[in-house]
Structure 1
Amino acid sequence: MQGVTWNRYFRLLPGHNNSNPLTNESIQHRRMESQRLKLLEEEEKCMKKASRSGLNSSIVLRKRQLGLPSSINYRRSIHELKVNCMQRRKLEIETPDSSICGSNNFKLIMADSASERIFTVNDVEHGGCKCGIVNLSGLGKNTLTVEMYDNLYFTNRKVLAVCIVSLISLTTSIKLCLMGIAETLGCASLLPASLFNNSNAGDQPGMLCSFKISTAWSCAWCLNPQANNYFSTGLSQQVHVTNAVTGHRQIFSISSDALAQQFATQAPVLYNGCRSGEIFSIDIRRPMNTGQGLKSLRLFHDSAVTSVNLLKDEQYLLAADMAGRIKLWDLRKLKCVKEYHGHHNEHSILPLHVNEEEGLLTAVGQDCYTRIWSLQDAHLLRTIPSPHPFSTDSIPSVEFSSHLGGSRGVPGLLMAVKQDLHYFSYKTDDPYCLPAKEADNSTPPQ
C-alpha cells in the first residue's frame, strides 16, 4: 500500500555476535600484528640490515688496519654491528619447585651491579605479586639455562617500583614500593637479598626496614659517601628521604607526583621527574621546607616524565615522558641538546636503560617494541619486536649489560615477556658480523 512504511524486525538467535569487528582499534591491532610478524620473520632469517649506510664489518676492519678511526669511534662501530646481529634465544629457567615457575607473567626484571643476578617481579593470577632472584652466572658458559633461587617473596600488593641497593653496614638489599589494596595504605620495604637464597624457611631474615606510605610511584638509592645509607620514595605531592640505618625521614612537599627518581653520586642530590612534566633536583643536605626554594634545578617536558637517568659525568641527564619523547639535557646550560626519536608511549611508566660503555640507549615502548639508539648521535640502531602478540599486559621488561652473567660474560640483552626469558647475545654465528673476540678487544693498539 502506498504511504505505508513497514518496519521489519529480525530475530537475533542465541549466540549471535552483533559487534562490528572492523573498528579503528581492531584495524590498528591487525596492522601492528602484521608488522610484528614480518619483523620476526626477518629476525629468524637473519635478514639484518646495517643501521647506517656504508657501515659493515669489512669496512670497519679495513679502516682499523689503516689506523683511521680513533679507539672511541672504532668501539662505537663495533657495538653498532654487534647490536644488529644479536639473535634471540629462549632461556630455560630451572627451579627446585616447578610449581613456582612459568605460571605467572613477568612484570619487571632488574639486574644487580655485577649482572650476575636479576631480581624479578611476577604478577600473580589471584592478585598481588611474587618476587624472586634468578642466577645468570651460567650465561657466560654458552648455556641457555638459568637458575631461580629457592625462596620467593609473596605480597598481596602490587609492586610499583624497585631498586637494588648495597649498604656499607648491611648486606646487599632490595627496595620495594608496594601499592595498597582496598582501603589499606601502601608500604616501602627494604629486603635483604639473602631472603631469597636461604633454603630453610625458619632461618629467613626479616625486613631491614618497612613503613606505611600513600601510593608510591618511584624509589632510588643514594651512593654518595655523604649519604650512603639513604633512599628516597616518590609519592603523590611528597618526596620521602629515609635513612635505612636510623630510620630518620625527611619529607619534602611538592606540587605533583614523583614518577621517576635518581640520586647523583658526586653530591647527595636527588633528581625527580613529575607527572606535571617538571624535572627538579633536591639537595638533601638543605633543611626541609615546603617552598620552591628546595628546588635547585628545574627543567620542563610537555608531558609526564617517566624516567630520569644521569650520565656518569653528571653534566647530562636523559629523560623520557608519556608523549614518547626522549631528551638529553645539558644541566649546565639547562637546555635540551639531543632527542631520540621512535619511542612510543601514551600513559605508561617506562624506564630507560643507559650503557655508556657501549654508547647505547635502550627503551621498551608501549607498543611492545624494544629500541636501541646510539647514545652519541641519537641514531636508531635497531627495533626488536616482541615474541608475543601486542597487549597492554605484555610489555617486555629488559636489561642490557656489557657483561651479562658476570665478569666473564659478554654484552647482551635480557628480555622478560609473559612467562618467558629471552637472551640476545653479542655471540653469534652470523658471518656478516665481526667475531666475538673483536668486541672483547675492541680498542686498537695505540
Structure 2
Amino acid sequence: MRGGRWRDEEKRRWSARGHRHRPRGRRRPGHRPERSEQEEPQTSVNADPSSSGNPSSSSLTQNSVVPELPGFYYDPEKNRYFRLLPGHNNCNPLTKESIQQKAMESTRLRLLEEEEKQNKKTTRAGLNSSMLLQKRQLGLLSSTSYCRMVHELKVNCMQRRKIEIHSPDSSVAGTNNFKIIVADVACERIFTVNDVEHGGCKYGIINLSGLGKESLTVEMYDNLYFTNRKVNSVCWASLTHPDSHVLLCLMGIAETPGCASLLPASLFSSTNPGDRPGMLCSFKISTAWSCAWCLNPQADNCFSTGLTRRVLVTNVVTGHRQTFGTSSDVLAQQFATQTPMLYNGCRSGEIFSIDVRQRNRKGQSWKAIRLFHDSAVTSIRLLEAEHYLMAADMAGKIKLWDLRTAKCVKQYQGHHNEYAILPLHVNEEEGLLTAVGQDCYTRIWSLQDARLLRTIPSPHPASKDAIPSVVFSSRLGGRRGVPGLLMAVKQDLYHFSYN
C-alpha cells in the first residue's frame, strides 16, 4: 500500500513541474512534434484565383510558418516533407517545377468547373441590370457610364463556345497552333498566324460574319501562305482604303535576311493570280521586333519597324527611309493619329516619342516625351484623345500614363509576365482593358477604376506554346456583329459570348 501511494505522489510531482523538467528520451526516427494551434499555417487571400498556382505566391516561407528545407518540399495535405530529386533522368522525378505545374493545373481545372457551372459573381456589390436601368431612368447615370456598366455586367456572364472553322485547306484547320490573331478596325476579319509543326508559319484571313448565326462557324479565305521564317510582328495597314493591306515582319534565317512585307488583303480571298489587285511589296530589313502603320496624313503611306537599337520609318510609295538610333531594342510601337508622333517602348524600360517630320536626329534631342518602366516594355496603346498611354512590361506591370504631366495615374494589378512580348487590348467605348498573361489567364479590367473584373482560365493546360491570343469587341463580325471575346489557343478558336 505504501509503495502504491508513493508512486501516485511522485506522478503528481512530475506533472506539477511541467515539460521542462521531464526526463528526455530518444526520439523515434521520423518523429515530428505536433504543432499547436498558434503554429497553423497562415495563408494569404488573393483576389485573383489563378494566383494560387503562381510560383511567387506558393512559397512556403511567405504563406506559412513551415520552414523551407534545401532539397525537400512540404506537402500540406500529407503534413510531411518529401525529397526533391536533383535530375530528370529518374523515373517520375519530383521537382519544384512539376509541383508548381501540378498546383496551377489543379487551379485551372477548378476554375473551368466553376465557369461551366456559371458560378460567377460581379465584382461590385449589388450590380445588376435592373438596378442599372433604374438609375439610368432616374438620370443618375450618363449614357457613357450606363454603357460602361452594362459591358462590365455582361463580361462577368460571358460563356465559352467553340467555333467551327471552315477552310478550303483541311491540312490547316485544326492541325496547326494559333500564334497570333489580329482584328481589323471593323472587326469583320482577323489575320491569323499559325505555327507549323516542322518549323515556319502559315498565315491567312478569317471572315467573322458567321459569328452572328447559331451555327457559330467562320470561313477562312481560300489562299493560305507558308513561310519557313518566324513571323515576329503583324499589323493592319490602310494604304488604298481602311485595312486594305497587312504588314508582316519576318525574321531572317541563315543567309536569308529579314524583311517587312506589305500584302493586300485581297491576296487571300482571290483564287486567280490575275485577280489580285493592290500593291504587293517587300522591304529587306534586319530582324524587326515590332511594327506600326501611320494613319496621320502628315506622314502618309508610312510604316515603322522597331529594330535592334534603332527605329526605321519607311515610305511605301517613295521608298524613302528615316533612321533613328536608340540605346535599346524597340519592342512596341504605335503611331498617333492626331499628330505625326511615333511612340516606342524599349527593352530598357524607356518609352519615348518621335516626331517623324524632323530631320535632325543627332544624339537624343529628337525624343519628345520620355517615360520609364523598371522592366522591358512589351506593349503600348494610346487612348483615343491621345492624352493617355497604356503600357505593359515584363515585370507584369500595366500602367496608365498621363502624357501631359509624364506621370503614372493608374496601375492595373494581376497581370503575369516574365519574359514574353504580350499585347494589350484597349476598348474605350466599352471601358475595358484586356490582356493575356504568361500564365495563360485572360484578365479583363475596368478602364475607369482599374478594378479586375474577370479572370478567364485557358481551355488548355498552361505551357509556353499555348498562350492564348485574343480579340475583344462589341461588334465581332462587323456593324451587326455580336459582342464578346474571341480566343485562339492551340488549334482551337473560341467565342465568349454575352449572356
1:33-77 alpha-carbon deviations (Å, 9 max, x no partner):
011111100111111111222222332233234332222222221
Matched residue, 2:95? 23
CA contact (8 A) 1:250 1:288 kept: no
> Quick one: which amino acid aligns to residue 491 of structure 2?
Q
Distance 1:359 1:169, change over 3 A: closer
The 1-side partners of 2:89 and 2:311 are apart by: 50
Shift of 1:207: 6.3
Q: Which has the higher contact order (CA 8 A, sep 6+)?
A: 1
1:75-114 alignment, distance < 5 Å: 75-114=147-186
Matched residue, 2:70? none
Aligned with 1:324 (options 385, 388, 396): 396
> Quick one: which amino acid aligns to residue 105 of structure 1?
N
> Quick one: which amino acid aligns to residue 344 of structure 2?
N
Shift of 1:141: 3.1
Q: Within the alignment, does 1:41 sit opposite 2:116 as a pair?
A: no
Aligned with 1:193 (options 265, 277, 280): 265
1:24-423 alignment, distance < 5 Å: 24-168=96-240, 172-201=244-273, 203-204=275-276, 208-423=280-495
CA contact (8 A) 1:260 1:306 kept: yes
> Quick one: which amino acid aligns to residue 274 of structure 1?
C
Shift of 1:169: 7.2
CA contact (8 A) 1:116 1:404 kept: yes
> Quick one: which amino acid aligns to residue 119 of structure 1?
F
Shift of 1:302: 0.1
Shift of 1:301: 0.1
Shift of 1:185: 1.8
CA contact (8 A) 1:186 1:214 kept: yes
The 1-side partners of 2:319 and 2:241 are apart by: 14
Shift of 1:296: 0.7
Structure 2 SS opposite 1:126 = coil
The 1-side partners of 2:266 and 2:354 are apart by: 32
CA contact (8 A) 1:276 1:304 kept: yes
CA contact (8 A) 1:315 1:331 kept: yes
**Normalised TM-score (structure 1):** 0.89
CA contact (8 A) 1:254 1:290 kept: no
> Quick one: which amino acid aligns to residue 116 of structure 2?
E
Shift of 1:139: 1.2
1:268-289 alpha-carbon deviations (Å, 9 max, x no partner):
1100000000000000000042
The 1-side partners of 2:277 and 2:310 are apart by: 31
The 2-side partners of 1:315 and 1:289 are apart by: 25
The 2-side partners of 1:274 and 1:241 are apart by: 16
Gaps of 5+ in 2: 1-87
Shift of 1:206: 8.4
Gaps of 5+ in 1: 1-15, 429-446
The 1-side partners of 2:368 and 2:453 are apart by: 36
> Quick one: which amino acid aligns to residue 236 of structure 1?
T
CA contact (8 A) 1:51 1:80 kept: no
Which range is displaced more, 122-131 or 271-280? 122-131
Shift of 1:95: 1.3
CA contact (8 A) 1:189 1:207 kept: no
Shift of 1:203: 4.8
Shift of 1:25: 0.5
Matched residue, 1:10? none
Matched residue, 2:49? none
Structure 1 SS opposite 2:101 = helix
CA contact (8 A) 1:140 1:406 kept: no
> Quick one: which amino acid aligns to residue 497 of structure 2?
S
CA contact (8 A) 2:148 2:429 kept: no
The 2-side partners of 1:384 and 1:244 are apart by: 40
1:111-142 alpha-carbon deviations (Å, 9 max, x no partner):
11111110000001111101100000111233
Which range is displaced more, 304-313 or 175-184? 175-184
The 1-side partners of 2:214 and 2:299 are apart by: 40
The 2-side partners of 1:99 and 1:252 are apart by: 43
Distance 1:170 1:385, change over 3 A: closer
The 2-side partners of 1:282 and 1:315 are apart by: 16
Shift of 1:17: 5.6
The 2-side partners of 1:170 and 1:269 are apart by: 20
> Quick one: which amino acid aligns to residue 153 of structure 1?
Y
Percent identity for Structure 1 against Structure 2: 76
Structure with greater Cα Rg: 2
The 1-side partners of 2:360 and 2:235 are apart by: 24
Structure 2 SS opposite 1:76 = helix
1:79-124 alpha-carbon deviations (Å, 9 max, x no partner):
1110001100000000123123211100010011111110000001
Give 1 or 2: higher strand fraction: 1
CA contact (8 A) 1:230 1:241 kept: yes
**Normalised TM-score (structure 2):** 0.80
Over the residues paired in the alignment, what is the CA RMSD in angstroms?
A: 1.7
CA contact (8 A) 2:184 2:243 kept: no
